[in-house]
Structure 1
Amino acid sequence: MGFQQGLSGLNASSKNLDVIGHNIANSGTVGFKASRTEFAEMVASAIGSANGTNGGIGVMVDDIAQQFTQGSISVTGNNLDVAINGNGFFQIQQSDGSLAYTRAGNFKLDKNGNVITNNYGQLMGYAVNPTTGQAATGVLQPMVFPPGTPIPAKQTTAIKAAFNLDARAPDAAGNPAAVPPIPMTPRSTYGTSINVYDSQGVPTKVNLYFQKTATANTWDVYTQLDDPAAVPPVVATPIGQITFDNNGKITGPAAAPPATGFQLPVTIAPPTPNPNNLPAYTVQVNLDGVTQFGTKFAVSDLTQDGYTAGQLTGINIGADGTILTRYSNGVTRPEGAVALATFRNTQGLSDIGNNLWVETFESGQPSLGQPTNGTFGALRSGALEDSNVDLTAELVNMMTAQRAYQANAQTIKTQDQVMSTLVNLR
């Protein structure tokens, strides 16, 4: 009798309904990948029956295959939410030290500064050189940003200046005998200022004044104004000169070897008062962007490389995985780079729950790298990848599975009626 076929159909349809229900239940789960039930027929076989006359004995569940298609990306506005647009998985170090992989990028920052999942797994990535911004690929490590540890102050070593000195400016000393008389140009006419920082992060204001000399294309540089009312009176002396050629391009002062370009050293006096007895220090003013054209004096760039101490205030993750940290002192710098993993056979990954997969022999070992490199996808900060479950399709599949279950139950009922007829033969 054909009870076996009907029973196998009931079991297969029931398993299919389990999978469909699991998909529907996780339609709102971040990074979830839907599964489908794949069936295979069962056929009785015997020696010498190669002509295919043996009847089928039902159906079996051949595989429950996850579908690693891209889910839609929803903007959340939370900078620690990260979506993968394309190929790849985040690598997670679980609490027992083992590695797992996920597409769910709803990360958090714990009290110790660890970037973690909801199950306390740590996000893995590469260390980054804060100076060059380049990731030290090859060795993965947990991403940690201690929020209670300030970055130390950095003493200013260089000022980058870009400005134009008016080529029409006369000798600053003036010429009263000229007709008409040429008045003296106050030193403050061409001036700018910037704060620099000592080794303890204490700011000092640096003034730079430029005064045209009687020599063509030559300007004296001062760091202060004259103060005849001071006791004793202050008469400033220039700290150097800037020279130009007839095309308005800078020709001096040349940087001291091994440096190249045009630099002017400025000695920064210690603060007053100076309770910690800090020494004076020297800052190199880079003048490569300075010109002398017949337009008004204008400063287009004036920056320096020092800062005071700062606390962590925010994190942002770029498309290439670079993690940029923001500090209360205004500094933004790279602190790490998120790594992505790809597999030769994603269908071979083993689902262990909590939006995590682990590698298996069938999946092969992961290939690791930075987002946007090669076949790795790009990251999008402030967004999450939604579940790839199609609710409409799942509801249709559920109705189909229900009908299949009813039909298999009907075959068992029919077989029962046939058997009852045989038993009741007289």
Structure 2
Amino acid sequence: MSFYTSLSGLKAAQNDMSTISHNLANVSTNGFKKSRTEFADVIASSLSVSPTQMIGSGVVTKAIRQQFGQGTLNQSGSSLDLAIAGDGFFAVKPNMDGSQVNFTRNGGFLVDADRYVVDAQGAHLQVYPVDGSGSVVATGLDQAVSLRLPQTSGTPQPTQNVALGVNLNSSSAVPSTPFDRFNTDSFNQSTSSTIYDADGNALTMTNYFVRKTAAAGTPPTSTWEVHSYVGDQELQPASGSGPITATFDGTGAMTSPTSATAFAPFTPGASSTQMQLSLDLASSTQLSSPFNVVTRSQDGKAVGQLQGVTVDSEGLVSASFSNGETQAIGKVLLANFSNPSGLRQLGNSSWSSSGISGAPIVGEAGQDGFGSMMSSMVEGSNVDITEELVGLIAAQRNFQANAKALDTSSKISQAIFNIQ
């Protein structure tokens, strides 16, 4: 019997060393949770044996129990690297068309080719859908959706009104050659503005300023011509033809035009939709200071392109766009279990629920029973190297002691066999 008792001790010590070795091997694995081997003694009892005469029959491995203590939090440079400070798991879907949901503490997420936020294995991060204000509109694990980053935001709006306030140098000379936008000697100054067509495409509107007369008359006035181009098309006023004529008095104030000039409709080369622009130069001046643009504005708007993603401490994911818009696109849900130690290990720092763990309890970061969300952080392993090495030494000593007991039992049996 002592052979089997010592053998059970050897197996138990070997299980303990294997568990510790697995912990040490994953000391650098993000989201890894260490395990602890738990043992129970074996007693073969019967009614006929006195309680004071019972001898144990060895040891069994009762459980290899996972320890879900907090791992180290390591800072990163990605806003999609998430860590949970406290209890909870991220919910991820390995198959977007399936119903299986796995759970992980490894929040090192990235964006795939289809703009879904996924973990290293390609499983989709699950979030609650939200409205424009960021309020959750549906709860429950079955109502969760895969987080997908939008590519654009907003509706394009074509430019209709352009306002341009410039200062024209009162000392500028009158060019001696006819206007040619490709000849810099034929105009005094130029400036470009970005406008947008009906599809939200950016176009360049260039205005060329040509002095026609120097200050003359009583009171002294001077005139300038303003040639406006969009791409290679010169814009013509809706009433009349030719460039805009701007007049300034002796103080440098503009006397005409006093209101915006409307141009005739035109079709940009990259669009099939006509545009109609107006140009307001009313705030322009003619002073002795150098040419400069004082004000510039236009009322068009392009479609916003995705520029960045942020996640707040409550798990609200917001996307920012190049047109200045910010859009709430989801709220990261967290899951917890009545018995996390009963979760089934899947590898890759992932788990699935089981009958021992209980059904997942879902909620939001910061609620009762759930930790807070930390962006640009990743939770590392909760393995303590020093503690594991001490445990490994103890497991080794246990193995050696049981091996010695087995050897002693063998020698006793050999001595009995040698009796003559």
Q: Same fold (TM over 0.5)?
A: yes
Please give the secondary structure, in 2, of the residue aligned with 1:323: strand
Cα distance in 2, alignment partners of residues 271 and 321 from structure 1: 51
Say how many residue pairs are matched: 314
The answer on 1:136 being equivalent to 2:137 is yes
The answer for unaligned runs of 5 or more in structure 2 is: 159-193, 204-245, 278-297
Corresponding residue for 1:17?
17
Q: Residues of 1 paired with 2:256 and 2:2: CA distance?
A: 116
For the structure 1 residues 17 and 270, does the alpha-carbon distance in structure 2 shift closer, same or farther, using more than 3 Å as the test? farther
Alignment of 1:225-244 (within 5 A): 234=257
Secondary structure of 1:13's aligned partner: helix
| Contact 1:153 1:306 survives alignment (8 Å) | no
Does the residue aligned with 2:328 lie in a helix, a strand or coil? strand
Give the distance between the partners of 1:83 and 1:316, measured in 2 at CA: 14
Q: Structure 1 residues 421, 111: CA separation in 2 closer, same or farther (over 3 Å shift)?
A: same
Are the equivalent residues in 1 in contact too, given 2:264–2:276 (CA < 8 A)?
Answer: no
User: For residues 31 and 323 of structure 1, do their structure 2 counterparts lie closer, same or farther at Cα, with a shift above 3 Å needed?
Assistant: same
Superposed displacement of residue 362, structure 1: 1.5
1:78, distance to aligned residue in structure 2 (A): 1.6
Q: Tell me if 1:45 matches 2:49.
A: no
In the alignment, residue 140 of structure 1 is paired with which amino acid? A
Q: Scaled by the length of structure 1, what TM-score is found?
A: 0.66
- 1:145 is matched with which residue? 149
Asked if the contact 1:128/1:336 (under 8 Å) is kept, the reply is: yes
CA-based RMSD of the aligned residues comes to 3.4
Show CA shifts across 1:1-58 (max 9, x none). 4111100000000000000000000000001100000000001112333625221010
**CA displacement at 1:390 relative to structure 2:** 0.4
- Give structure 1 stretches of 5+ with no counterpart: 157-194, 205-226, 238-268, 281-303
1:70 aligned to 2:64? Answer: no
Q: Which residue is 1:112 aligned to? A: 114
Give TM-score scaled by structure 2 length: 0.67
Pick aligned residue for 1:322 from 316, 340, 343: 316
2:371 paired with 1:377: yes
Matched, 1:362 2:356: yes
Contact 2:153 2:325 in 1 (8 A): no
Task: Give 1:125's aligned residue.
Answer: 127
How far apart, in 2, do the equivalents of 1:412 and 1:332 lie?
Answer: 71
Structure 2 CA distance for aligned equivalents of residues 270 and 343 of structure 1: 68
Q: Deviation of residue 373 (structure 1)?
A: 2.1
Contact preservation (8 Å) 1:42, 1:59: yes
Q: Is the 8 A contact 1:39 1:60 kept in 2?
A: yes
SS at match of 1:311: strand
SS in 2 for 1:144: coil
Alignment partner of 1:357: what SS? strand
Change (3 A) 1:271 1:54: farther
User: 1:234-253, CA deviations, whole angstroms, 9 ceiling, x for partnerless residues?
Assistant: 5569xxxxxxxxxxxxxxxx
The separation in 2 between residues aligned to 1:305 and 1:378, in whole angstroms, is 42
User: How far did 1:319 drift?
Assistant: 1.1
Distance 2:375 2:263 in 1: 43
Percentage of matched positions with identical amino acids: 35
What residue in structure 1 maps to residue 177 of structure 2?
Answer: none
Is 1:79–2:72 an aligned residue pair? no
8 A contact 1:270–1:278 mirrored in 2: no
How far apart, CA to CA, are the structure 1 residues paired with 2:369 and 2:196? 44
Deviation of 1:323 (Å) = 1.0
Contact (CA 8 Å) 2:313, 2:373: kept in 1 or not?
yes
Q: 1:274 to 1:372 in 2, by over 3 A?
A: farther
User: Which residue number in structure 1 is paired with residue 163 of structure 2?
Assistant: none
State the structure with more CA Rg. 2
Deviations 1:200-233 (A, max 9, x none): 55899xxxxxxxxxxxxxxxxxxxxxx8779995
Matched position secondary structure for 2:408: helix
Match of 1:166 in 2: none
The verdict on how the C-alpha distance between 1:310 and 1:48 changes in structure 2, with shifts beyond 3 A counting, is same
SS class of match (1:339): strand
The one-character-per-residue Cα deviations of 1:369-393 (angstroms, maximum 9, x if unpaired) are 2211222111111110110000000
Contact 1:319 1:371 in 2 (8 A): yes
Q: Is the 8 A contact 1:314 1:327 kept in 2?
A: yes
Question: 2:154 & 2:19 partners in 1: Cα distance?
Answer: 54
Query: What residue in structure 1 maps to residue 334 of structure 2?
Result: 340
Q: Which residue of 1 aligns with 2:396?
A: 402
Checking the alignment, whether the CA contact within 8 Å between 1:137 and 1:369 is kept in structure 2 is: no
* CA distance, structure 2, for counterparts of residue 417 and residue 100 of structure 1: 53
